Chain A
């Protein structure tokens, strides 16, 4: 098999989903659209009647919405950060996954940034953030950091796309709708692949890859600051910034693995998204299992040793009280079981890693809930501890946001090539075809 044949097959495989869509795919998208619609209906109820339709009250004044905000901004770290780190360190195995990772970043950021708006008592006054914004407020830092990150991520997604969009323009001119034809022509920005264009693009990508890493770290650090800048037991912590960034990357890697597995099956990308990509991401996931375990130790051992009044109440509630099932579920299902799946060679395969990733994502959502709600339940004055049970409106909006996330990814996957064709090609050229990674190549990995 010659190199050109392999490249042609790559182009054909990756571009195929852009030209035709199967009925099952359409059905899934329709179902997702239905859930999004239900979420929008729930939000309209909230707009009409006010936040009284939630179970948030004066003591537990933040709930699911802020948890979702932290969770989605967290999984946005999947993408750009991981793809940027791998690109900067020139890890060759990254080439088929960078595009998906960058998609996840842009979509998760956009969905996540909606939640503070949904949570707002007066969404009609959001412009006050601009005309009266105060730099002293952690929320304004959030707005600045997230908008910077979103802008950077979009640029970082688009730059490597240019060459692939030009490929779509050249190869798909008579296979796609006129709308897509015009879109590819405009979006490819007149790419001809001249050495000058290539040099500019490469410079731009390198600059963005380096820039995006500190921006990503700053984003989840300032997200943690809306909690850590208060005097509340549990939130009043110096470890929060780092803890949030670690949790963000952890849930981000898990999300990439899940999205990769779904698109691999849906678009028949088995040749490019091999066991190698999954197992390497699995190793990263495993490393973060340990980091998260370490941060949990810090978060609970340090205040637990001192037993200050509020902290003691919080620890009792989380470790042995009514939130104990959630907390121990998170430790067991989010850290221990995924850690074992990655550790044991006979579960360290694609199926095992997808299961581990789903567990990690659920557990990290629970962890975000445990970051927000229990700290607000700790009484600061002598009143009985408040409770919080999210209402159907809050659950519906949450479900709608998850469905919306999946729907936008699914739409993007029909508009853009989900694998960075030119990068994979470059990687093929750098490496003789015979040595291309095969599923059986990995030591210790079994199918």
Chain B
């Protein structure tokens, strides 16, 4: 009897230690956060055992905001369809930047996937976190909706489900996926997740595939390679040879999204052509 008691107590302690230790580790490593959803964000093993470092280059010389095609920005439209982006949110949004002395250029802005992400730093519950591959994600099942990340983001690339999100019916049947961010949940923050789940399957993000001008390049800084779906280039050389810059570089956020300066000249736009078409949602009503 005595030995039995001893054994069971030891088992209990072992069990407690194991679960307690696991819980401790899980709480220290945000990407292991304990929820099943987070497993999806685990790095994909590569043949060379190196970690991917996803990044993007947007060639503004090829971006005319789709006004030459008389279409709303197709990157945004593809993203909305691919992710069931709730009504009113544009995870990748095309802004028209004005030149000081007249004229303008278009700039598609996804989440910048900052390496020193101000949003991650301030999150009180670790709901937003950076995967080992460098993608900033949000766990909508942990987010408490305090919106301090939105206050902290210098690019306004975060969106909040203020009411019940307006979604197509098929989104409601989707299994919760932290990378695809479906289905949207009221009272939580959402944003571009860099489509790492697509990259893992050998596909480019929706916005890259949707761009009719092949202005958006997606790639891996570790392997130093990027593609616009047709061509493949050496990432670092491509950046260096084209005077790549990053948005608000002076803030030290170290974005993973690079831009090549331009105003759409390669697709026949002059700096004075304007008239960005508004994006549309094929489902639901406007809020």
A132 within 8 A of partner (CB): yes
Q: Which of B27, B142, B152, B251 has the largest count of A CB atoms less than 10 A from its CB?
A: B152
B126 within 8 A of partner (CB): yes
Stretch at the interface among A83-91, A168-176, A379-387: A379-387
Question: Nearest Cβ in chain B — how far from A57, in angstroms?
Answer: 7
Is A121 a contact partner of B187 (Cβ separation < 8 A)? yes
B124 within 8 A of partner (CB): yes
CA distance A116 to B147 in the complex (A): 10
Question: Nearest Cβ in chain B — how far from A40, in angstroms?
Answer: 19
Is B121 a contact partner of A128 (Cβ separation < 8 A)? no
A285 within 8 A of partner (CB): no
Is A383 a contact partner of B95 (Cβ separation < 8 A)? yes
CA distance A126 to B144 in the complex (A): 7
A123 surroundings in chain B (CB, below 8 A): 144
Is B162 a contact partner of A128 (Cβ separation < 8 A)? no
B262 within 8 A of partner (CB): no
A136 surroundings in chain B (CB, below 8 A): 121-122
CA distance A382 to B98 in the complex (A): 8
Is A121 a contact partner of B161 (Cβ separation < 8 A)? yes
Given contacts A58-B156, A380-B154, A380-B156, contact A129 B124 (CB under 8 A): yes
Contact of A137 among B98, B124, B142, B251 (CB under 8 A): B124
CA distance A269 to B95 in the complex (A): 64
Is B160 a contact partner of A58 (Cβ separation < 8 A)? yes
Is B146 a contact partner of A227 (Cβ separation < 8 A)? no
Contact of A121 among B88, B96, B145, B152 (CB under 8 A): B145
A208-256, CB < 8 A from B: 226-227, 229-232, 235
A81 surroundings in chain B (CB, below 8 A): none
CA distance A131 to B144 in the complex (A): 12
Is A120 a contact partner of B155 (Cβ separation < 8 A)? no
Question: Nearest Cβ in chain B — how far from A222, in angstroms?
Answer: 12
Is A230 a contact partner of B122 (Cβ separation < 8 A)? yes
A229 surroundings in chain B (CB, below 8 A): 121-122, 152
Given contacts A137-B148, A138-B122, A140-B124, contact A125 B142 (CB under 8 A): yes
Q: B115-133: contact bitstring with A at CB < 8 Å (1 yes, 0 no)?
A: 0001001111111000000
A430 within 8 A of partner (CB): no
Question: Nearest Cβ in chain A — how far from B156, in angstroms?
Answer: 5
Question: Nearest Cβ in chain B — how far from A138, in angstroms?
Answer: 6
Question: Nearest Cβ in chain B — how far from A179, in angstroms?
Answer: 38
Is B188 a contact partner of A137 (Cβ separation < 8 A)? no
Is B158 a contact partner of A128 (Cβ separation < 8 A)? no
B202 within 8 A of partner (CB): no
Is A49 a contact partner of B160 (Cβ separation < 8 A)? no
B278 within 8 A of partner (CB): no
B83-102, CB < 8 A from A: 88-89, 95-98
How many A-B pairs have beta carbons closer than 8 Å: the answer is 133
Question: Nearest Cβ in chain B — how far from A237, in angstroms?
Answer: 14
Q: A132-144: contact bitstring with B at CB < 8 Å (1 yes, 0 no)?
A: 1110111110010
Is B147 a contact partner of A61 (Cβ separation < 8 A)? yes
A376 surroundings in chain B (CB, below 8 A): 151
CA distance A52 to B166 in the complex (A): 12
B96 surroundings in chain A (CB, below 8 A): 382
B27 surroundings in chain A (CB, below 8 A): 131-132
**Nearest CB to that of B23 among chain A residues?**
A131
B152 surroundings in chain A (CB, below 8 A): 229-231
Q: A100-136: contact bitstring with B at CB < 8 Å (1 yes, 0 no)?
A: 0000000000000000100111110110110111101
Question: Nearest Cβ in chain A — how far from B53, in angstroms?
Answer: 23
Question: Nearest Cβ in chain A — how far from B159, in angstroms?
Answer: 5
Is A49 a contact partner of B163 (Cβ separation < 8 A)? yes
Is B109 a contact partner of A381 (Cβ separation < 8 A)? yes
Is A231 a contact partner of B118 (Cβ separation < 8 A)? yes
Contact of A61 among B95, B121, B160 (CB under 8 A): B160
Contact of B163 among A51, A129, A230, A235 (CB under 8 A): A51
Contact of A128 among B88, B125, B156, B187 (CB under 8 A): B125
Closest 5 CB pairs of A and B: A121-B145, A121-B187, A52-B163, A139-B124, A137-B124
The 10 listed contacts between A and B (C-beta, < 8 Å) are A52-B287, A53-B163, A120-B145, A125-B125, A132-B33, A139-B124, A139-B146, A229-B152, A381-B109, A382-B97
What would 5 more interface pairs be, CB under 8 Å, given A137-B123, A139-B122?
A57-B162, A121-B161, A134-B30, A232-B151, A380-B154
